[in-house]
Amino acid sequence: MAKIAIVQDIYLEYLGVMYISAVLKKSGHAVEVFIEKTQADYVKNISRFNPDFVAFPVTTGMHEWAATTAKAIKQATRAKVIFGAYHPTFFPEIVEEPGVDIIIRGEAEAAMLELADKTDKHADLTDTLNCWFNIDGKIIRNEVRPLVENLDEMPFPDRELYGTKYAFMKRHQAHVIGGRGCPYNCSFCFNHAYRKLYAGKGRAIRLRSVENVIAEIQEARKTYELRTIYMQDDTFIFKKEWVMRFLEEYSITVRLPFVCMIRVDVADEDIIRALSNAGCNNVFFGLETGNEDLRNTLLNKKVTDEQIMKTAGLLKRYGIRFRTFNMLNLPGETIEDAYKTVEFNQRIKTDFPWCSLYYPYPGTELAEHAVKFNLVDTSIAKSTPSFFKTSVISSPHRNELVNLQKLFFYAVRFPVLFPLIKKAARIRPNIFFDWAFLISYAYSFFRSENLSMGDLLQIGSRNLKRFFFNK
C-alpha cells in the first residue's frame, strides 16, 4: 500500500483531487489531504503521516507558495514530491524547482495509480507516462498516455476525502461534471493547448452517460445532506441532445436546485426552458468584456452583444438568475473599454456581476501575445497570489482598473453610484477597496451558488487570509 498526501493552500473541494483519491483507494492505497495554517504545520503533520508521495494540485498564482512549501516538506520527509494540475501541465519547467521530483501533465488518475503501484513493487518509476522526473538535476520527459475514452468506467469522486477530516467542509452542495473537455478556443483559456498536448491520443471532448451522472448524484446524497448541485462542466449545455435528456431525467429522479455554466451562443429557448423546469435557478456565463471587438478578436470568444442580450432576456423570462464572468486590464484595454463592460452588465441587469483581473496563464495564446508585446510585469506576476488582488499587465490605467475591479459589483448593481465609483477608482489602491471587494465577492459567490450563510461562515472565514490577501 502506497501512502499519498495531498497538499492544498485553501479550504476548497477539488473535484480532480477527489477523482484521483477514488482511483487510488479503489486499488488499496491510502490518501489524506492536508490544509494547514503554517508551513511548520504542513511539515509536522505530513511527516507524521509518513507518505510515499506528497502531491500538490498546482494552479498558476499559487505556484510560488507550492514550490516553497514543497522544498520544506522535501527536506523533512523521505517522500517524493509531485506537482500536478494546470500549472505544471502548461509550464512543465517547474519540475526544475528544488524540492520537486515529479510533475504530472494532463489527466492524472492513471499516472498517480501507476506511480503508487510501482512504489509497492519497488519498481522503476521513470518510464511512467504523463510524468516528468527530476533525477539529481537530470530531467526525464515522458509523453502523455491516451485519454480515458469511457468516463463511465471511472469511479465516482471520493467525497469522504475532505469531509472526514474537515467536517466543516461537508457542505450542502455537490460538485459534479458530465464530461471532460471544451470545444471552444478562447485565447485566454488553456483548452486549445490541452487539445494540442493530446493530439492523436483520443477524443478531447467526452461525455458520461446520463445514467452514470444521475447515479453519482444519488450516491452523493448518502454523503451530503444535499440542497443543491453544481454542474461544473466548462459548458454544460454544449451538446443539446445530451443536456435535454439529462434535464428530463434529473427533473424526475433528483429534483434538487442546481447551478451550471452555459454559453450564450448555444443557449436557446428550449434549453433555457428545460433548465428552469428541471430546477436550475442560477447559471454562469462569460461576458468577459463589454467591447465586442475585444471579445471576439483579442479573446476569440466568438460571442456577440446581441447573443448576450437575447440569452439574458430569456433567462429573466424563465426566472433563472445569472452570474457573468468579466475581466479588466486585458492587454491593450482602455479605461473606456472597462466602462463599457460595467455598462453592458447594467444593461442586461446581471444578478451576480463577477469580475477578475486578467492573468496571462502559461500555454494560452493571449499570454503569448502579452509576453510578445512586453505587457507582463514579471515582478508582480512572480508574487501575486490571486487574480482578484492586483494586475500583472502593464497599463497606464492599471491602478484605476484594479480599483474598478474591486468596485465592479457595486457599479453594476447600483448604476446611480457609477459616476462616484469612477472618481473613487482614481484613488491610490488601498485596503478599503479590498474589503469592499471581499463583501461583494462573498455575497455573489454564496448567493449565486445556492450556498447557505453557514457555508459562508465556515468556509469563507477560513479562506479569507489565504485567498484575498498576501499570506
- Spell out the domains of the chain, with CATH numbers in brackets: 3-141 (3.40.50.280), 171-468 (3.20.20.70)
Interstrand relation of 131-135 and 138-141 (parallel, antiparallel or unpaired): antiparallel
Residue 467 pLDDT greater than 70, yes or no: no
- Report the mean per-residue pLDDT for the chain: 93
Residue 323 pLDDT greater than 60, yes or no: yes
* Average pLDDT score over residue span 350-364: 93
Query: Of 67-81, 262-276, 366-380, where does mean pLDDT reach its minimum?
Result: 366-380
**Grid cell in block for residue 177:** 461534471
All residues at 6 or more sequence positions from 200 whose CB lies less than 8 Å from its CB, including other chains: none
Triad 357, 358, 360: Cα angle to 5°: 140
The predicted pLDDT at position 471 comes to 40
SS3 string of 84-148? ECHHHHHCHHHHHCCCCCEEECCCCHHHHHHHHHHHHCCCCCCCCCCEEEEECCEEEECCCCCCC
Share of the chain above pLDDT 70, in %: 93
Tell me the pLDDT tens digit for each residue of 387-401. Answer: 677 888 999 999 999
**For helices 335-348 and 398-406, what crossing angle results, to 10°?**
20
Tell me the pLDDT tens digit for each residue of 246-301. Answer: 999 999 999 999 999 999 999 999 999 999 999 999 999 999 999 999 999 999 99
- Per DSSP, which regions of 136-252 are E strands? 138-141, 173-176, 179-180, 206-207, 228-231
| 62 — pLDDT class (breaks 50, 70, 90) | confident
Task: Identify which of 14, 72, 13 has the alpha carbon closest to the alpha carbon of residue 47.
Answer: 72
* Average pLDDT score over residue span 88-107: 96
The predicted pLDDT at position 470 comes to 42
In angstroms, the CA 351 to CA 229 distance is 19
Tell me the pLDDT tens digit for each residue of 174-204. Answer: 999 999 999 999 999 998 899 999 999 999 9
| 455 — pLDDT class (breaks 50, 70, 90) | low
**Grid cell in block for residue 387:** 487574480
Task: Identify which of 393, 440, 385, 445 has the alpha carbon closest to the alpha carbon of residue 417.
Answer: 440
| 469 — pLDDT class (breaks 50, 70, 90) | very low
List Cα–Cα distances, 300 to 290, 304, 307, in angstroms: 14, 11, 15
- Per DSSP, which regions of 142-217 are E strands? 173-176, 179-180, 206-207
List Cα–Cα distances, 293 to 2, 235, 361, 414, in angstroms: 53, 22, 22, 26
Please report the DSSP string for 2-22 in residue order. Answer: -EEEEE-SSS---HHHHHHHH
**Grid cell in block for residue 166:** 474537515
Please report the DSSP string for 295-308 in residue order. Answer: IIIIS-----HHHH
Is the dihedral angle over the CA atoms 265, 268, 274, 280 positive or is it negative? positive
**Grid cell in block for residue 301:** 470568444
Residue with cell string 495531498? 6
Residue 457 pLDDT greater than 70, yes or no: no
* Average pLDDT score over residue span 39-59: 97
Helix then strand then coil, in percent of the chain rounded to 5, is 45, 15, 40
Residue 456 pLDDT greater than 80, yes or no: no
The predicted pLDDT at position 385 comes to 55
In angstroms, the CA 116 to CA 110 distance is 10
| 460 — pLDDT class (breaks 50, 70, 90) | low
Q: Say how far residue 136 (Cα) sits from the centre of its chain.
A: 33
Triad 269, 211, 216: Cα angle to 5°: 105
All residues at 6 or more sequence positions from 178 whose CB lies less than 8 Å from its CB, including other chains: 207, 208, 213, 231, 233, 236, 242, 246
**Grid cell in block for residue 17:** 483531487
Per the model's pLDDT, the better-predicted residue between 386 and 55 turns out to be 55
| Torsion from C-alpha of 228, 233, 234, 238, nearest 10 degrees | -110
In angstroms, the CA 203 to CA 146 distance is 9
